[in-house]
Amino acid sequence: MSQTIALIGNPNCGKTTLFNYITGANQYVGNWPGVTLDKACGYVASHDFKVVDLPGLYSLSPYSPEEIVSRNFLLGGKYDVLVNIMDATHLERTLSLTCELMIFNRPMVLAVNMMDLAHKQQIELDLQALEQRLGIKTVAISAATGEGIPELLDAIKTVAEGAAAAQTVAAHETAGQGAAAAHEEAAAKEQYFDAMLRCYDEKLAAAISRVMSALKSHATTSGNIAADQGNLAFVALSLLQQDKAYLASYHQDEQVMTAVTREVAALESHYQTDVEGLIAQERYAFIDNLVRQVVVKRQGKYHSLSERIDNIATNRWLGIPLFVAIVYLTYYLAVSTIGTMGTDYANDVLFGEYATNAAAALLTSIDAPQWLSGLVIDGIIGGVGAVLGFVPQMIVLFIILSLLEQSGYMTRVAFILDRLFRHFGLSGRSIIPMVVATGCGVPAVMATNAIDNINEKRITIITTTMMPCSAKLPILAMIAAAFFPESTLVAPGIYFLAIFSIAFSAYILKKDSAFKEEVSPFVLEMPNYTIPKLRNVVRSTYERCRAFVIKAGTVIFTTVVAIWFLSNFNFSAEGFGMVEVNDSMLAAIGSALAFLFIPLGFASWQASVAIITGLLAKENVVGTLAVLLGLGEVAEDDASLGAALHGEFTTSSAALAFLAFNLFSTPCIAALGAMKRQLNNKRMFAFAVFYLIAFAYSLSLIIYELGGFITGEVAFGPGTVVALVLVAIALYLVLRPERKQRTNLSIPVKQI
């Protein structure tokens, strides 16, 4: 029978790396906290283990959603062995969580990870002493290299089998014997009392035991919690610390609350301090004493190198310019140079020649009808191929992002931008979803679970999809290559325009009474810089690109086939059949909607249809244009994509307006679904959709009218006046005073 193993530890301790290594799964790995936001499950076939990767947390106090996920799982008790992953380079910090886990007194193994880094930093650990003091099996590992993993799995199996055997013996001894059962319960209480004595003194442990007795009585009458000794011990300790969640659960139980109040008063009277501070004091006194026996640390070159790098990377004046330079270099390599070489080859040779010529030859040999040739060459190859052609640029971009994430630099980005974002109603925590959004908006929206401030979370959900994701990259690359082939500033400029749009939106939203809660405290661990593992970089890049390619093979394929059909068929005097594209059903639909985009500089029905399909999935934009502009045939005749697009957008400002609307309007349907679930409020979700569309439309109009007027592409006219009015409105929204929430005066009737 499979045994369930739970992995738990501090953020960035290597849980997900270990999970991937032993299960062969593809959980996302990053050298920054908050990578795992919900529990993930896997399987170790060699040992018949079910493995649960819990979100990283520093404490079991429910201050954030991921802490609640982990705590609820532990209280549920549906696991056989708890594996506490510890950071060998910061053992003193990780031991605090270990002390909290010990109170459950469940089968546990300590996996001391990152031993390779500890050796580089010249940190020596006496793990045998650690095991003896805690009474928990301890194994040294390095999840990144695989060192010690076989020994860890064997230790887990041994502990699990020992616990199962003990439970079987106890069950046989207590079956049908009331006195024996009572004796067993008393022995269990003594066992937990001994476990608590490891971290706390005898008087505090006795107080916890007495509250446990009151909870035991409550559990048998109300069924509020399972009458498990570990759960009771944890809940008792939480009540003594005035945990709001448990105080709310038991506030109507007089027996429990009386016991808690009595013990709190006695402890505070004896120790002359509050119980919460007392428990922390006892715990850290135990940890300090333990660390002195276990850890021998001599400052090494590795750690000081991280500090020297941080003197520049997190410098108050140099940090942001360095970030700007890195972003510029990233998009220069992905969009302007290396990535473009691969994309040009894919578009011009792979799909433009090989795929098109092979398909044409095959269709000719089987004497295929005209409609089938058009579907395959113009629809499938022209549409899907045009999208897949941008995969080389994505590969380069995702490789660089993976290197930055796994090296530890992205944590520094969150730190340096926190000072800036705090002025706009956000904190550095919002950076994590934004970085994730460069891959896909769906996990980015889900990553806002790490933000515990409700209003900061809502603003981040509404704005984070403004970041250019992998689906938007082909649109960006298409416009940049067609209208600004010599410029290397367009791609990074759009990236910073996205950051500006997020900051602007957050600033004007936080002034409204609906977003008035204070910004949450920003606490983020700074991991040491590490050399990214090739395996992790390849896996991260593969997973991101794979998701895009799968989408291209399903959603985009379906869309371009539908677009091809609608653009080639309609009812005519001769009945239903193939017609010229300008007489098609799609032309009629697009022409009816084209007036909406006239103020943005493009009034063709082709562009209108591309935008509408882009509202379903951004990947559809390039594929739709490829089908409607006949790029399958164009590529075969060696004509460029740029020539076709210049015929569609008469000015570069119109092309930029088209790009801006697609980048900053509502994300794909999947991301909208994630937004709806995370906001969990119909009115807030409706506002988010309206705001994103209104913002994108206004920004596009300003880019076309004012940008075109400044460059001489657009003459001064009514549109320019409207653009100036929109700029004035934007300035007003920024400069207006904040709206205060109305406070209603409530007077009880009896006082009147």
Confidence at residue 423, expressed as pLDDT on a 0 to 100 scale: 75
Residue 619: Cβ within 10 Å count: 29
Section 693-702 average pLDDT: 94
pLDDT digits (tens, 9 = 90+) for 293-320: 898 876 555 555 777 888 888 887 888 8
Of residues 365 and 578, the one with the higher pLDDT is 365
Compute the average pLDDT of residues 390-408.
83
pLDDT at 747 over 80: no
Is residue 30 scored above 50 in pLDDT?
Answer: no
Rounded Cα distance, 564 and 628, in Å? 7
Q: What pLDDT is stored for residue 705 in this prediction?
A: 93
Determine the pLDDT at residue 743: 45
Judge whether residue 109 has pLDDT over 80.
yes
DSSP 204-268: HHHHHHHHHHHHHHHHHHH-SS---HHHHHHHHHHHHTT-HHHHHHHTT-HHHHHHHHHHHHHHH
> Which of 192-201, 263-272, 536-545 tops mean pLDDT?
263-272
568-615 per-position pLDDT tens digit? 778 777 777 777 767 788 788 888 888 888 899 887 888 888 888 887
- Give the number of other Cβ atoms within 10 Å of residue 361's Cβ: 9
The token duo for 647 is 């015929």
Instruction: Give the C-alpha distances (Å, rounded to integers) separating 650 from 481, 484, 511, 644, 717.
Output: 15, 14, 39, 11, 18
Q: Which residues contact 27 (CB under 8 A, 6 or more apart)?
A: 16, 19, 20, 36, 40, 42, 53
Give the gyration radius of the chain's Cα atoms: 31
| Six token digits for residue 113 | 């990870």
Look at residue 467 and tell me whether its pLDDT is greater than 50: yes
Q: What is the pLDDT of residue 333?
A: 87
pLDDT of 741 over the 80 cut: no
pLDDT the model gives residue 696: 95
**pLDDT digits 0-9 by tens, 228-250:** 666 788 888 888 888 877 887 78
Where do the DSSP E strands lie in 407-454? none
Closest CA to 88 of 124, 57, 52, 49: 124
Q: Let me know: does 709 contact 716? Beta carbons within 8 Å.
A: yes
Give 184's pLDDT tier (boundaries 50, 70, 90). low
Decide if pLDDT at 458 tops 50: yes
Single-letter amino acid code for the residue at 497:
L
Q: Are 569 and 579 in contact (CB under 8 A)?
A: yes
Q: What are the tokens at 642?
A: 């740029």
Domains delineated in the chain: 3-174 (3.40.50.300), 180-297 (1.10.287.1770), 319-569+596-735 (no CATH)
Mean pLDDT for 205-220 is 79
Q: Predicted confidence band at 34 (pLDDT cuts at 50, 70, 90)?
A: very low
Q: Which of 56-65, 365-374, 662-671 has the lowest mean pLDDT?
A: 56-65
Under the banding of pLDDT at 50, 70 and 90, the label for residue 78 is confident
CB 347 within 8 A of CB 386: yes
What is the mean predicted confidence (pLDDT) over 434-448? 77
Inform me whether the pLDDT recorded for 181 exceeds 80: no
How large a percentage of the chain has pLDDT more than 90? Answer: 14
The percentage of the chain sitting over the pLDDT mark of 70, rounded to a whole number, equals 82
Number of residues written out for the chain:
752
Among residues 696, 666, 729, 724, the alpha carbon closest in space to that of 508 is found at 729
- The distance from CA 59 to its chain's CA centroid, rounded to whole angstroms, is 21
pLDDT the model gives residue 681: 85
- How far is Cα 491 from Cα 468, in angstroms, rounded to an integer? 10
Give the confidence band of 29 by pLDDT, cuts at 50, 70, 90.
Answer: very low
* The pLDDT of residue 642 is above 80: no
Residue 513: Cβ within 10 Å count:
10
Assign 641 a pLDDT band (cuts: 50, 70, 90): low
Reported as a pLDDT band with limits 50, 70 and 90, residue 123 is confident
The per-residue b/e assignment along 153-173, b for 16 or more CB within 10 angstroms, e otherwise, is: bebbbebbeebeeeeeeeeee
DSSP code of 142? Answer: B
Greater confidence (717 vs 579) lies with 717
Per-residue confidence band for 282, with pLDDT thresholds at 50, 70 and 90: confident
Tell me the per-residue pLDDT of 315-339, one tens digit each, with 9 for 90 and over. 878 888 898 898 888 878 887 788 8
